[in-house]
Amino acid sequence: MPPVDFIEHASEADIAAWIAGRLTAALAIAPDIAITVPGGSTPFPIFDRLAAMELPWSRVEVWPGDDRVVPEDHPASNVGKIRARLEPAGARVVALTPDARPPHFALAWLGMGLDGHIASLFPNTDPRADDPRPVRRLTPDPLPPEAPFDRLSMTIPALTDCDEALFVMRGADKRALFAAAAAGQNDLPVARLLRALHHKVTCFC
């Protein structure tokens, strides 16, 4: 895996500006691009800042890296919340389905849980870097009480098919766990994904 560029104490505005810069650079050399983004609470204030920026959103296709198996109008739906923020700006938001074929991503934006899961690849799902399928339906164990639903998740090969990867996380515990994964000191899902990456990795923490 490539080295990780750790950027500490960045504000939501700083992160949004960094992402906007990466999208602008990618769109300078391609007519259209695709990105994958996380759910959870951390990214949505950043989405709001990005949506307010003067970016050519009509040329950007946005894929959730995972989603809960619920209707889009359910409060737990990632794609529903992403649509509400980015479609008014002009982005094309794609719902994740079991038979989806994710494209190559200019940017794979990921989060991480305290158990080392990324997207909905929880430790109990034993994610593999050589998974032949790009999307799987999975059941976390234990089910998070705030979202007790089955998940659809991109697999490691789909998430790592990107030009660069971005992680955004908060808290010293997550920072320490991620650093251990990057150093090869555990075999959690985040460590398996990092080993499979071959491009630039940036971590805001």
CB of 141 closer than 8 Å to CB of 170:
no
pLDDT at 27: 97
Q: Which tokens sit at 102?
A: 């994710």
pLDDT at 2: 77
Give me the residue spans of the domains in the chain: 4-204
pLDDT at 141: 87
Contacts 24+ apart (CB under 8 A), 176-181: 177/112, 177/114, 177/116, 178/112, 178/203, 178/205, 179/6, 181/116
CATH 3.40.50.2300 fits 4-204, yes or no: no
CB of 69 closer than 8 Å to CB of 151:
yes
| Average of per-residue pLDDT values in the chain | 95
pLDDT at 142: 85
What is the number of residues in the chain? 205
pLDDT at 120: 96
54-76 confidence digits (pLDDT tens): 999 999 999 999 999 999 999 99
159-204 confidence digits (pLDDT tens): 999 999 999 998 999 999 999 999 999 999 999 999 999 989 999 9
